[in-house]
Structure 1
Amino acid sequence: MALLNIRNLSVEFATGGGSFRAVDGVDVTVEGGEVLAIVGESGSGKSVSMLAAMGLLPWTATVTADELSFDGRDLRDLSASARRKVIGREISMIFQEPMSSLNPCFTVGFQIREALKQHLKLDSSARKKRALELMEMVGIPAPEKRLTAFPHQLSGGMNQRVMIAMAIACGPKLLIADEPTTALDVTIQAQILDLLTGLQRDTGMGLILITHDMGVVAETAHRVAVQYAGWKVEDQPVETLFDTPHHPYTAALLAALPERATERRLPTIPGVVPGQFDRPRGCLFSPRCAYADDLCRSTVPPLQSPELGRAKCHYPLSVPAKEEVQ
């Protein structure tokens, strides 16, 4: 049984002009101990999908799914109090911006201890001891001193480590990391990724890594789900995805990697991700796709077989990227 099972997830936001479907029919499956990367440009619905699973979207969002289960429990049927016992303890999330996620009015030590008090019911001395252990685990020097610091007194990398310490405080079975290295310099990015993958190996938890950095994906993930404009357009093991992408969008993302460039000018994907008022009638990627024809522009594409990466495409690619994408 999969640790997380999501089937046909859709999320609509009420807007002044009606509604906007940010996630449309997405499936997500994560096994215990697996590292799943969800990739795609900004606006692809990556973060919204996971926030919906955790029940953290605002009241303007309408979430529907054929299945939304975690460790055998249906998350759709949980009461608010029952959900609070799961979220933060068994499922945790590292949010994208630590400076806006941490409360500036409280020390980082207080914020770590708060999660321990809420979920594990530890006494004061046990909470302090566990907070110190967590700070050491995530590689924060002089942890006893840092526990009394406020977020603004720490660097971006330190705050990200504090966020990780909070997320793993209760020993979650599933950790969702939303762009955990955004706005960090390259050296700190590598340290944070090494920390996350090391924790995942040591604890055996499932890890969902939301990112747009394909280099990060290549180094850390077991499996990759590619999202575009609210659709999941491909799902493959990381090795086969990099060798043989089947959706033109995936191939275009990989072709834009500097190490794959064959000319002085890097390849780019023309256009932008469609929004509320410019969504195509057929394939959402058709305005930007070099292979699109009238069928693509008029008809929603089918989902292909696992052998073709479950690509949502009328004409899935079936040859290695280095041959198909110039």
Structure 2
Amino acid sequence: MPLLEIRNLSVDFATSSGQFRAVDGIDLSVDKGELLAIVGESGSGKSVSMLAMMGLLPWTATITADVMSFDGHDLRALGPRQRRRIVGKDMAMIFQEPMSSLNPCFTTGFQIKEALRLHLGLDRKARHRRAVELFEMVGIPAPEDRLKVFPHQMSGGMNQRVMIAMAIACGPKLLIADEPTTALDVTIQAQILDLLTGLQRDSGMALILITHDMGVVAETAERVSVQYAGQKVEEQKVADLFETPHHPYTAALLAALPERATSRHLPTIPGVVPGQFDRPRGCLFSPRCKFADDRCKAEPPAPAGSGLGLARCHYPLNARSEVSA
């Protein structure tokens, strides 16, 4: 039984001009100890789908799902109090932009100890010991001193480490890392990724890594789910996806990697992710796809079989070789 299982998750936001579907029929499953990557451009619904699962979206969001279970709990049936016992303890998230995720009015030590008090009920001395241990675990130097400082007194990389320490403080079974290396320099990015993957291996927790960086996916993940305009368009094991992508969008993302460039200029994907007012009637990727025909523009495709990476495409790439194999 998967640790996390989501079936047909959709999220609609109420706007002044009507409903906007940000997540459209997403399926997702994560096993204990697994590292899953979710990739896609900005606007693909990666963060929104995870925030919906955790119950952290505003009242303007309408969330529907056939199945949304975590560790045996039906998340759809949980009340706010029951959900708070799980979120932050068994299920935790590292949010984007650590400088805006941490409260500037409180020290880093107060913020991490507050989580320990609420979820684990530790006394003051135990909270302090655990906070120092966590700061050491994530590589923060002079942890005793760092517990006393405010977020603005530390660098972005240090604040990101504080966020990671807060997320793993209660020993979660599932950790969601939402663009954990955004706005960090390359050296710090590598350190943060090594830290996350090391913690995942050592503790046995499941890790969902949300990113738009295919290079990060290649180095860290075991399985990858590709999202586009709120839909999942492909899912494969990482090695298989990099070798034989089946959706044109996945192939275009991989072709844009610098190491795969065959000319002086990097390939690009024309156009932008469709928004509320320009969503195509057929395949959502059809306006940007060089393979699209009239059928693609008029008829929404259904996901292909698992042998074709569940590609949401009328004409999956490499289909002939995959079927013959």
Q: Same fold (TM over 0.5)?
A: yes
* SS, match of residue 281 in structure 1: coil
Report the AA paired with residue 113 of structure 1: K
CA distance in structure 2 between the partners assigned to 1:303 and 1:314 by the alignment: 9
CA distance in structure 1 between the partners assigned to 2:87 and 2:186 by the alignment: 31
Using the TM superposition, give the Cα deviation of residue 319 of structure 1 relative to its aligned residue in structure 2, in angstroms: 6.8
**Which residue of the partner structure matches residue 195 of structure 1?**
195
Contact 1:244 1:319 in 2 (8 A): no
Report the AA paired with residue 181 of structure 2: T
Using the TM superposition, give the Cα deviation of residue 302 of structure 1 relative to its aligned residue in structure 2, in angstroms: 1.3
Contact 2:308 2:319 in 1 (8 A): no
Contact 1:178 1:210 in 2 (8 A): yes
**Which residue of the partner structure matches residue 73 of structure 1?**
73
Which structure 2 residues correspond to residues 165-314 of structure 1 after superposition, within 5 A? 165-314=165-314
CA distance in structure 2 between the partners assigned to 1:3 and 1:17 by the alignment: 38
**Which residue of the partner structure matches residue 44 of structure 1?**
44
* SS, match of residue 194 in structure 1: helix
Number of matched residues? 320
Question: CA offsets per residue over residues 111-163 of structure 1, 9 Å max, x none?
Answer: 00000000000000000000000000000000000000100000000000000
* SS, match of residue 8 in structure 1: strand
Using the TM superposition, give the Cα deviation of residue 241 of structure 1 relative to its aligned residue in structure 2, in angstroms: 0.2
Q: With the length of structure 2 as denominator, give the TM-score of the two structures.
A: 0.98
CA distance in structure 1 between the partners assigned to 2:179 and 2:27 by the alignment: 20
CA distance in structure 1 between the partners assigned to 2:165 and 2:90 by the alignment: 14
Using the TM superposition, give the Cα deviation of residue 72 of structure 1 relative to its aligned residue in structure 2, in angstroms: 1.2
Which structure 2 residues correspond to residues 154-165 of structure 1 after superposition, within 5 A? 154-165=154-165
* SS, match of residue 43 in structure 1: coil
Q: CA RMSD in A?
A: 0.8
CA distance in structure 1 between the partners assigned to 2:202 and 2:243 by the alignment: 29
Question: CA offsets per residue over residues 255-312 of structure 1, 9 Å max, x none?
Answer: 0000000000100000000000000000000000010000000000011011100000
**Which residue of the partner structure matches residue 323 of structure 1?**
none
CA distance in structure 2 between the partners assigned to 1:311 and 1:251 by the alignment: 11
**Which residue of the partner structure matches residue 14 of structure 1?**
14
Question: CA offsets per residue over residues 223-254 of structure 1, 9 Å max, x none?
Answer: 00000000000000000000000000000000
* SS, match of residue 304 in structure 2: coil
After TM superposition, what 4+ stretches of structure 1 lie above 2 angstroms from structure 2? none
Question: CA offsets per residue over residues 161-194 of structure 1, 9 Å max, x none?
Answer: 0000000000000000000000000000000000
Q: Does 1:128 align with 2:128?
A: yes
**Which residue of the partner structure matches residue 148 of structure 1?**
148
**Which residue of the partner structure matches residue 324 of structure 1?**
none
Question: CA offsets per residue over residues 63-105 of structure 1, 9 Å max, x none?
Answer: 0000000011100101111100000000000000101110000
* SS, match of residue 195 in structure 2: helix
CA distance in structure 2 between the partners assigned to 1:61 and 1:99 by the alignment: 25
Alignment gaps of 5+ in structure 2:
321-325
Q: Does 1:26 align with 2:15?
A: no
* SS, match of residue 296 in structure 1: helix
